[in-house]
Structure 1
Amino acid sequence: MFHQILKRIALVAASLFAANIAMADSFERNIMTGGPTGTYIQFGRDIAALGKTCGLNLNVVESAGSLENFSALRNRRNTQFGIVQSDVLEYLKTYEAHDAQIQQAVRGVRIMFPLYNEEIHILARRDIADIRDLAGRRVAIGKVDSGTYLTASLMLDILGIKDAQRLEYTQDQALPLLEQGEIDAFFYVAGAPASLFVKNNIDASRFHLLPIRDEALMRTYTPTTIPAGTYSFQNEPVSLVSVKAVLMTFEYEPGKNAYHRESCRSVSDFSRLILDGLERLQGDGHPKWKQVNLTAVPPGWRVGACVRQGLESDYKPTCVAAPVSSNNEQYLDLLKQRLKP
């Protein structure tokens, strides 16, 4: 199952390339995010708002999630940024050396910044006590090409849960189906507090978040806890696991053509804006910004040259308006050490 999912990245990349050959050459900036109620899209909007303080427009694009976002960075015109889950990156690295299609899919994709840990939520009926109890149940695992789909598939396979009925519903589709008794549980990878669970009145007597403590999962995922009261239906702390969300970009070559030159400049500009504006993002943006450590780069992945250019001490963003700024010299020195090629 792992390899079939990763092969799909190459197929998505090919289809995106074919679909974008005829696109207009006009320059614009886009960030691939996720569904309308997810944390990715809120992070994208926060970054776009930061760009506006500099007079730089950034379009926030809804998507299926991590797999589509990764492929789009290499193949979707005018797409310089995308948010991807770290387990997607880990399994790409695992298979890259032995698979030419995956090598092609990852070529040129680079790290921009690590972001935050995303909790793996499994909302289930009360009579389901443990993730292994999903055997034989109707389980929504997310839309194909989403990070939730990949993570749910990997976790069920790692645990050897082969007989769960895996249904390809988004989390927005899955919640009413769970409430109506059409499914028994659904996966949702999102930074807590996830707005889907905050905005909906979920019946605590019927549904709960499954604890995830299985040792077999700890080799791939990070243990974490959702504190009591994070959601109205959740009165006790819940131990589960998480993956890291990572902001990705492409290795543009400024000498190649005008599009590469403008895209590289945009990557440099937003790298600097995020660094200088991190305090503002932590104060005004999604609560998960408070957990962001820009130096926690996943092992084995290269940081883009255009990113590093934006972190040079004398780099100035090409702003139309005055950019946000902060006193970040010590943080900048540490970041530059961590992001060396």
Structure 2
Amino acid sequence: MAARILRIRLPLVFVAIFGMVASGDATLGTGKDLDPNSSADWLGVIAGDEAGSEIELAAEMAELFATDSPFRVVPVPGDSGLNNISRLLHDPHIDAGFVSTDVLADSETQSSVPNLAASLQVVARLCPQEVHVLAQAGIDSLADLAGKKVNFGTDGGSSAVTARTLFRALNIEVEPVALDGRAAIEQLTQGAIAASVFVGAKPMPVIAGIPANQGLHLLPVAFGAGLEAVYLPTGFDHDDYPNLIEMETEIPSVATGVALLAAASKDDPGHADRVAQLVDTLFSHFGELKKDGRHPKWREINLAASLPGWTRAPAAEAWLAQHEDARKGTQAKIEAGAVQSNLPVSQNQRDVLFEQYIEWQRAKGH
């Protein structure tokens, strides 16, 4: 399979407002305030790091809305973590966002945001997010990182929460640092840190773009040794990262989950309508996102999948009720690229496994 060329396809109309909304510095008001020269109603979808997969997924969602549509979506860089949760709840420019299920289940998140499950609703449960541990030459295992500097990602972000959980489960003590994706790659190549943890849908642009001669490689994360109760098994191969992985080579890893969420209510009378329009366009045209040239993770998403312990947004529930075939049809793949020897054979068993994993996260926290 030819390697897919990754790029962030942000429509030009977004560029002028992108930085303003990303920083949260825009004048507060309704979605229409994002572009005072436009009569369109805007909806901000906060995603992940600018170098990650979630911002690309959000940009591809935005492309479903025609340039002459009265309703537009702007993808906003975020952290898929606590910052996204805060802006979902309080920023009038953000109506929907990506949040890691690790972050939702994390005990620190639950203590810092009381009644979180009542404050946020599920628009769609998205794809598993693979855990990438990128390391310098000479580091051959996670155990080799003991006592060394390892980037966990920005504080409160999805990578930081997952990295903390991962190393705690493996009883490996490292010296965490907090860098964004591009800064982490720079620090790795300079030898300032030993490794960096990235959590995102493979292939991640920031990793796929690393030249073969950079001296960096992905470490194996074996499913087991305390991880079987926390994560799902998965892996990487040459098709995912041709610059880093030789042909016919598999590198085992683990995965967590991510969901597209919206606030249950806001002090903005247009919020519910904007979310409803997002749902109608996204769900009705979801097939467009599964075509060649789009991020391959769209092909793994089942819009009817639930997130145990969380309420589905009314607009999503209503759309699914009106399109019963979406509930009864063939299940989309949920765990992509998984190490086959570690996964059940049938898709139904894989779906059940993922449901049990999400339920475990909700009940236990970590």
Q: Which band: TM-score by shorter chain?
A: 0.7 to 0.9
Aligned counterparts of 2:177 and 2:212: Cα–Cα separation in 1: 21
Q: Are the counterparts in 2 of residues 252 and 264 from structure 1 also a CA contact under 8 Å? A: yes
Q: Deviations over 1:22-43 (max 9, x none)?
A: 8234644111112222111111
State the match for 2:361 in structure 1: none
Q: Are the counterparts in 1 of residues 218 and 244 from structure 2 also a CA contact under 8 Å? A: no
Q: CA deviation at 1:311?
A: 3.5
| Structure 1 residue matching 2:235: 3-state secondary structure | strand
Q: Are the counterparts in 1 of residues 81 and 100 from structure 2 also a CA contact under 8 Å? A: yes
Aligned counterparts of 1:137 and 1:95: Cα–Cα separation in 2: 27
State the match for 1:227 in structure 2: 237
Matched, 1:210 2:210: no
Q: Compared with structure 1, are the counterparts of its residues 95 and 150 closer, same or farther at alpha carbon in structure 2 (3 Å cutoff)?
A: closer
Q: Compared with structure 1, are the counterparts of its residues 56 and 333 closer, same or farther at alpha carbon in structure 2 (3 Å cutoff)?
A: farther
Q: Deviations over 1:64-119 (max 9, x none)?
A: 33221122111111311000111112225x984xx5x5324554211110111111
State the match for 1:117 in structure 2: 128
Matches within 5 A, 1:1-341: 23-25=28-30, 27=32, 28-52=42-66, 54-91=69-106, 96=110, 99=111, 101-162=112-173, 164-203=174-213, 206-213=215-222, 214-231=224-241, 232-235=243-246, 236-252=249-265, 259-260=268-269, 262-283=270-291, 284-313=293-322, 330-332=325-327
Q: Are the counterparts in 1 of residues 117 and 310 from structure 2 also a CA contact under 8 Å? A: no
Q: CA deviation at 1:310?
A: 3.7
Unaligned runs of 5+ in 1: 1-18, 314-327, 336-341
In the alignment, residue 286 of structure 1 is paired with which amino acid?
A: H
Aligned counterparts of 1:225 and 1:331: Cα–Cα separation in 2: 29
Q: Deviations over 1:162-182 (max 9, x none)?
A: 3x1111111211112111111
In the alignment, residue 254 of structure 2 is paired with which amino acid?
A: V
Q: Are the counterparts in 1 of residues 136 and 194 from structure 2 also a CA contact under 8 Å? A: yes
Q: CA deviation at 1:333?
A: 5.2
Q: Are the counterparts in 1 of residues 117 and 311 from structure 2 also a CA contact under 8 Å? A: no
Q: Compared with structure 1, are the counterparts of its residues 252 and 24 closer, same or farther at alpha carbon in structure 2 (3 Å cutoff)?
A: closer
Q: Are the counterparts in 2 of residues 272 and 311 from structure 1 also a CA contact under 8 Å? A: no
Unaligned runs of 5+ in 2: 1-23, 33-41, 331-366
The alignment's TM-score, normalised by the length of structure 1, stands at 0.78
The CA RMSD measured in Å over matched residues stands at: 2.7
In the alignment, residue 85 of structure 1 is paired with which amino acid?
A: S
Percent of residue pairs bearing the same amino acid type: 22
Aligned counterparts of 1:229 and 1:285: Cα–Cα separation in 2: 15
Q: CA deviation at 1:147?
A: 0.7
